[in-house]
Amino acid sequence: MAASILTVNAGSSSLKFALFDTADALQVTVRGEIEDIEEAPHLVARDAAGNVLTERRWPIGEAHPFATALHAVLDFADGH
């Protein structure tokens, strides 16, 4: 199993993240973000070539605290 480093940049309404491969000189293997966390969260993660690896939308108007967004990113990173 390859080891990776997860970086997270939390903003007021978004959460951006990246996975770096520790076996390949810390090359970025995945970049993603969750936009509009408070209103209509949308998660998208892409590989280094820009291909979509996962995409998820939550229902508009339901409360989605920051912890929910972070949990979604951690679940993706763990499974990836």
For 9-66, write each residue's pLDDT tens digit. 988 889 999 999 988 788 999 999 999 888 888 999 999 999 999 999 988 876 667 8
Return the pLDDT at 1: 45
Return the pLDDT at 59: 82
Q: How far is CA 36 from CA 11, 47, 55, 79, in A?
A: 10, 22, 14, 23
Return the pLDDT at 67: 82
Tell me the one-letter amino acid at 48.
A
Closest CA to 53 of 24, 13, 19, 4: 19
